[in-house]
Amino acid sequence: MCGIVGYIGYRDAYPIIIKGLHRLEYRGYDSAGIALFDKGLKVYKKAGKVRDLENFVKDIKMTGTIGMGHTRWATHGAPSDRNSHPHSSGNRRLTIIHNGIIENYSVIKETLLAKGHVFKSDTDTEVLIHLVEDIEQETGLGLLEAVRIALNKVIGAYAIVIMSADEPDVLIAARKGSPMVIGVGKDEYFVASDATPIVEYTKNVIYLNDNEIAYIHRNELLIKNIDNTIQTPYIYELDMKLEMLEKGGYEHFMLKEIYEQPRSIRDCMRGRIYPEQGKVQLGGIKEYKEKLKNVDRIIIVACGTSWHAGLVGEYLIEEYARVSVEVEYASEFRYRNPIITEKDLVIAISQSGETADTMAALELAKEKGATIFGICNVVGASIPRITDAGVYTHAGPEIGVASTKAFTAQVTVLTLIAFYIAQLRGTITQSKLVEYLTELNEIPTLVERTLECNDHVKHIAALFKDSNNCLFLGRGSSFPVALEGALKLKEISYIHAEGYPAAEMKHGPIALIDDELPVIFIATKNSSYEKVVSNIQEVKARGGHVIAIVSEGDVDVKNMAEYVIEIPQTNEAFVPLLATIPLQLLAYHIAVMRGCNVDQPRNLAKSVTVE
């Protein structure tokens, strides 16, 4: 996934674009580039981060009030200067930035090569701008029409911005399958992959739809479909605030977002739970009460951390709502030809709402007649715009690539959905709901108390930061927490880590136990506590290093494990919301101690909008 920013208006474009690229760097950061128009089209680009691009141009006068910029996560063509965006046409009169994949680029490239086009990069993006150039030259049509015709020949996903030396007061933007937001300011327009580079200038935005092209002139905005029909744009007002995008004094966005969890969980529940009445209200799915009362099967599709949240949801929905749940990797589900009928409810979980595999899985479910819901964190993202209904997590922008507050917000929403369906189907008594919701209402406070373990976790991190492998074990709804703890550690510290059901140890992983291997158990006081204690003893007996997340006051495990991290006692249903916190902090501190780039880990992007 890449980051795209464009500007046209009365201000100098360069500072706006560069600041916007910094805000979007979480989307991709292996190379960056910028194009400006000022007495001619000027393109500057190189491998490396946005700050490397700034260094590269620091002695150049970067003038002009129209421009665009790109920060890349490589798909076609390795990260290098020549594969960086923007890419230019053969005659250098046109230049493009692109997020997505042109699937039929090689066929198009063959045709253009036969016509004498010469390419400088290995990218699919360069082929697209040469195609536009070819159409302009063959038809004599203007830029907008040439782009529209070109996009009708393209198969794949794109969010593009194009500039032309022959039309210096115009940006052309278009999208299909990759996000694109247009900011509508006073005598100025902004274009970006999401609202984060726009919000400090205007809160009025238009979410471009698939197959739409925007012709953005200095004082005119025209939106067409690629079939040439004029579209009437809807202007949304953003509820995002600028300070949400700053680090707020934290060293990394990830740490800030870990500490935001008391607030984000509170925001996620706000207006949705009434503990005294034992009532859950979910406005986003209330039209589907009958469906939820009678549904026999719920299928959850997601990727990565969101898939882990789905696994927690499976335990909660089956336990409390007594509805069968299957949790699927979206990337497998979409290619497996699954058996889906109109009786099914398919729920996609996605922080970004842009993950290509999750989107495709949802579209497949829709095609097969299922009702489709979304659990997303970004209002107006692609997934919420195709679903029948859904529940936003309201966690606020999550900038750190490693998902933290989004995970606990997703689990919170799934908890609310489990209780909501239970309420509709009468599988929980009113008095029990009062009890559960009263306890759930306390969770933000308990998260605050859990965060007090930070210094202790930092001490443990220092002892295990040089490990090469790590095992995370849990039972019941703590098994997905073990998976999530392992993912956090591996994706930001690059230590190999695996999560397993604790009972599964005996079927293989126990062979890994030695005095090098840290084994982290989630061993809170709940229905499987005794069983987990036996697993701890099995590891101890083989010389493993045991670190255990335990309930406050636990002495049994404290006498067995080398290190324990205590979390407040809470109902088993809510343990994932607390037990995940120390694992997030452990991964964070180990990664920092290993000198890793915590907010922008190598090879990763915040949202994978390509397959």
Among positions 25, 126, 194, 491, the unique one binding ligand AGP when judged by CB under 6 A: 491
Report the nearest approach of ligand AGP to the CB of residue 400 (Å): 8
Rounded-to-10 torsion of CA 606, 607, 608, 610: -130
Two tokens, residue 464: 């295990």
Is position 182 an interface residue for ligand AGP (rule: CB under 6 A)?
no
Size of the site for ligand AGP (CB under 6 A): 15
**Vertex 535 angle, CA 452 and 491, to 5°:** 55
* Alpha carbons 77 and 347: distance in angstroms, whole number: 35
Is position 561 an interface residue for ligand AGP (rule: CB under 6 A)?
no
On whether the CB atoms of residues 195 and 240 are closer than 8 A, the answer is: yes
Two tokens, residue 424: 């509709």
Using the contact rule CB under 6 A, the part of the chain among 89-97, 163-171, 298-306, 314-322 near ligand AGP is 298-306
Is position 607 an interface residue for ligand AGP (rule: CB under 6 A)?
yes
Report the nearest approach of ligand AGP to the CB of residue 376 (Å): 8
Q: Of 34 and 360, which has the nearer Cβ to ligand AGP?
A: 360
Q: Of 399 and 428, which has the nearer Cβ to ligand AGP?
A: 399
Report the nearest approach of ligand AGP to the CB of residue 403 (Å): 4
Is position 580 an interface residue for ligand AGP (rule: CB under 6 A)?
no
Report the nearest approach of ligand AGP to the CB of residue 313 (Å): 14
Q: Of 358 and 528, which has the nearer Cβ to ligand AGP?
A: 358
The full 3-state SS of 185-197, as one line of letters, equals CCCCEEEECCCCC
Which residues have a Cβ under 8 Å from the Cβ of 355 and sit 6 or more positions away?
302, 303, 306, 330, 383, 607, 608, 609
Report the nearest approach of ligand AGP to the CB of residue 90 (Å): 37
Q: In what order do the strands lie in the sheet with 469-474?
A: 496-501, 469-474, 518-522, 545-551, 563-567
Two tokens, residue 39: 């007495």
Q: Which residues are catalytic?
A: 2, 606
On whether the CB atoms of residues 99 and 178 are closer than 8 A, the answer is: yes
| Residue 574: exposure state from Cβ atoms within 10 A (0-12, 13-18, ≥19) | buried
Is position 609 an interface residue for ligand AGP (rule: CB under 6 A)?
no
Angstrom CA distances, 120 to 88, 89, 130, 195, 493, stand at 9, 10, 11, 32, 36
Is position 205 an interface residue for ligand AGP (rule: CB under 6 A)?
no
Using the contact rule CB under 6 A, the part of the chain among 106-114, 257-265, 300-308, 470-478 near ligand AGP is 300-308
Is position 306 an interface residue for ligand AGP (rule: CB under 6 A)?
yes
**Vertex 355 angle, CA 497 and 73, to 5°:** 75
What does DSSP say about strands 469-474 and 371-376: parallel, antiparallel, or unpaired? unpaired
Using the contact rule CB under 6 A, the part of the chain among 157-165, 252-260, 397-405, 418-426 near ligand AGP is 397-405
Site string for ligand AGP, 334-363 (x = CB under 6 A): ----------------xxx--x--x-----
Q: Choose among 501, 311, 490, 318: nearest CA to 411.
A: 311
Is position 608 an interface residue for ligand AGP (rule: CB under 6 A)?
yes
Is position 493 an interface residue for ligand AGP (rule: CB under 6 A)?
no
Report the nearest approach of ligand AGP to the CB of residue 46 (Å): 26
On whether the CB atoms of residues 84 and 44 are closer than 8 A, the answer is: no
Residues 151 to 180 in contact with ligand AGP, rule: CB under 6 A? none
Report the nearest approach of ligand AGP to the CB of residue 309 (Å): 8
- The residue sitting closest to ligand AGP, measured at its beta carbon, is 304
Angstrom CA distances, 136 to 110, 261, 578, 592, stand at 18, 52, 59, 51
Is position 401 an interface residue for ligand AGP (rule: CB under 6 A)?
yes
Q: Of 89 and 393, which has the nearer Cβ to ligand AGP?
A: 393
| Positions that interact with ligand AGP (CB under 6 A) | 303-306, 350-352, 355, 358, 401-403, 491, 607-608
